[in-house]
């Protein structure tokens, strides 16, 4: 426990500057009907969010080295997709923020997928309409280098351009907080969700389950003195974290990978703190009220992603008690990803040529 408290004290110092961030512009490029559901008619809005950060914000490595705008701040931009009731008074008051995985949205595939023919990641169709029938507002917030986010950069001492990848956490934090609480952006454009959100939830699968755990660990779940996400739904994230608190050379994200025989020490996936208990302890040591969290593991997460370390820690041999705000479920027989079964003819064709 002493090492957890020491880490928490360090993270308290790192998170101290999180309030100096803002959404400058919400730019909506298209609006189209999405369908009619039990909660009423829905629309799909697409565009991008533009924000800026104080270069001295703690907790994001190399932010102070990034190029600054005329106001002396560090800018970012990111793609956003909103699914919202046409009637602003409709819905259940919940905003679900989905963290896309390698540029692929997951919320509708996770929650709206028909059982008979599962939807693949990246599918934005309504499917069963589960989320919309129940009145959720859904925001896809893109955060990843090379996958919908324009991250700030700088040139290092060797003339190499480097991207400040930790800004991905700030993008999700600032956009979620803006959508839930702001009346308008800094340019005066109204927030289409203003006054309609009573609670904010986050969801992420695999890479992005690790995103959410790292987000909470490093103090990004606070903005302007309030909690950003009241709840987190973390799917098949194993026991590790996400290695984007660094400056990468691109063009892809430092998080776009996983340990394999060629790269067994790929960072983040098996790095600690490994347990959700240690992560929650770090947040609470900073004075935060941790979000309610539900974590799901599949059978293959135990077989290949060391999910057991998320229960025991790196050196333990018994499951540790879960914090009061956390529930964890193991789904026997489940796989890490859903692969739609090929037709008999396609399967036979593969057999002939392999």
Section 163-178 average pLDDT: 98
Segment 188-206 mean pLDDT: 97
Query: Pick from 177, 35, 208: which is nearest to 95 by CA?
Result: 177
182: containing domain = 2-353
Q: What is the mean pLDDT of residues 58-87?
A: 97
For the segment 267-311, what is each residue's pLDDT rounded down to a tens digit? 888 888 999 999 999 999 999 999 999 999 999 898 888 889 999
Tell whether the torsion through CA atoms of 11, 242, 22 and 161 is positive or negative.
Answer: positive
Least confident piece of the model among 6-10, 101-105, 122-126, 267-271: 6-10
**In degrees to the nearest 10, what's the CA dihedral of 73, 100, 17, 223?**
110
Confidence label for 259 from pLDDT (cuts 50, 70 and 90): confident
Distance, CA of 330 to CA of 307 (rounded, Å): 10
Average pLDDT (167-175) is: 98
Structure tokens at 187: 């340019």
Task: Find the range with the poorest average confidence among 102-116, 272-286, 340-354.
Answer: 340-354
Q: How many CB atoms lie within 10 A of CB 33?
A: 10
282, exposed or middle or buried, with CB in 10 Å at 0-12, 13-18, 19+?
buried
Q: Is the pLDDT of residue 261 over 90?
A: no
- pLDDT value at 142 more than 90: yes
Closest CA relative to residue 53, chosen from 173, 200, 215, 194: 173
Split at pLDDT 50, 70, 90, the class of 343 is low
H or E element, residue 133: helix 130-133
Q: Which residues of 45-59 are buried (b: 16+ CB within 10 A; e: fewer)?
A: bbbbbbbbbbbebbb
Instruction: Give the three-state DSSP class for 251.
Output: coil
In this predicted structure, what is the pLDDT of residue 269? 81
CB 220 within 8 A of CB 59: yes
Half-sphere exposure (Cβ direction) of 101: Cα atoms closer than 13 Å: 24
Q: How many domains does the chain have?
A: 1
More confident residue, 18 or 138: 138
Cα–chain-centroid distance for residue 138?
13
- Looking at residue 270, its pLDDT comes to 81
pLDDT in tens, 213-252: 999 999 999 999 999 999 999 999 989 899 999 999 999 9
pTM: predicted TM-score of the whole model, two decimal places: 0.89
- CA-CA-CA-CA dihedral for 44, 47, 48, 49, to nearest 10: -60
Q: Using alpha carbons, list the distances in angstroms from residue 319 to 107, 232, 308.
A: 30, 21, 8
Per-residue tokens: 24: 């400058």
Backbone angles phi, psi at 83, to 5 degrees: -120, 115
The CATH number assigned to the domain holding 127 equals: 3.40.50
Mean pLDDT score of the chain: 89
**pLDDT confidence of residue 303:** 85
pLDDT recorded at residue 266: 82
Average pLDDT over residues 196-224: 97
Q: Is the dihedral of CA 132, 107, 217, 149 positive or negative?
A: negative
Contacts of 280 (CB under 8 A, 6+ apart): 216, 290, 293, 323, 325, 326
If one compares 321 and 11, the residue with the highest pLDDT of the two is 321
Residue 20: pLDDT band (50, 70, 90) is: low
Q: How confident is the model at residue 17 (pLDDT cuts 50, 70, 90)?
A: very low
């Amino acid at each position: 426990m002493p090492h957890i408290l020491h880490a928490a004290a360090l993270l308290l110092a790192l998170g101290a500057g999180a309030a100096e961030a803002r959404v400058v512009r919400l730019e909506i490029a298209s609006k189209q009907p999405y369908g009619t559901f039990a909660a009423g008619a829905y629309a799909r809005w697409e565009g991008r969010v533009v924000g800026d950060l104080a270069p001295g914000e703690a907790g994001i490595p190399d932010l102070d080295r990034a190029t600054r705008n005329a106001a002396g701040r560090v800018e970012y931009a990111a793609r956003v997709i909103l699914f919202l009731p046409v009637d602003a008074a409709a819905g259940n008051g919940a905003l679900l923020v989905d963290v896309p995985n390698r540029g692929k949205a997951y919320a509708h595939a996770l929650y709206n997928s028909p059982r008979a023919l599962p939807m693949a990641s990246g599918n934005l169709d309504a499917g069963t309409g589960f989320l919309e029938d129940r009145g959720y507002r859904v925001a896809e917030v893109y955060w990843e280098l090379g996958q919908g986010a324009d991250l700030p950069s700088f040139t290092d001492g060797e003339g190499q351009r480097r991207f400040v990848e930790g800004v991905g956490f700030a993008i999700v934090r600032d956009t979620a907080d803006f959508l839930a609480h702001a009346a308008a952006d800094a340019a005066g454009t109204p927030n289409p969700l203003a006054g309609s959100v009573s609670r904010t939830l986050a969801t992420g699968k695999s890479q992005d389950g690790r995103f959410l755990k790292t987000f909470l660990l490093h103090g990004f779940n606070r903005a302007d003195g309030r909690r950003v996400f009241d709840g987190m739904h973390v799917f098949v994230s194993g026991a590790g974290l996400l290695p984007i608190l660094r400056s990468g050379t691109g063009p892809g994200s430092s998080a776009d990978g996983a340990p394999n025989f060629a790269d067994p020490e790929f960072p983040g996936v098996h790095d600690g703190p490994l347990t959700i208990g240690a992560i929650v302890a770090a947040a609470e040591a900073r004075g935060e009220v941790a979000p309610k969290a539900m974590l799901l593991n599949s059978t293959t997460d135990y077989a290949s992603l060391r999910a057991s370390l998320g229960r025991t820690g790196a050196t333990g041999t018994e499951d540790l008690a879960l914090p009061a705000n956390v529930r964890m479920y193991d789904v026997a027989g489940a796989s890490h990803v859903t692969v739609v079964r090929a037709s008999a003819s396609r399967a036979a064709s593969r057999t002939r040529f392999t």
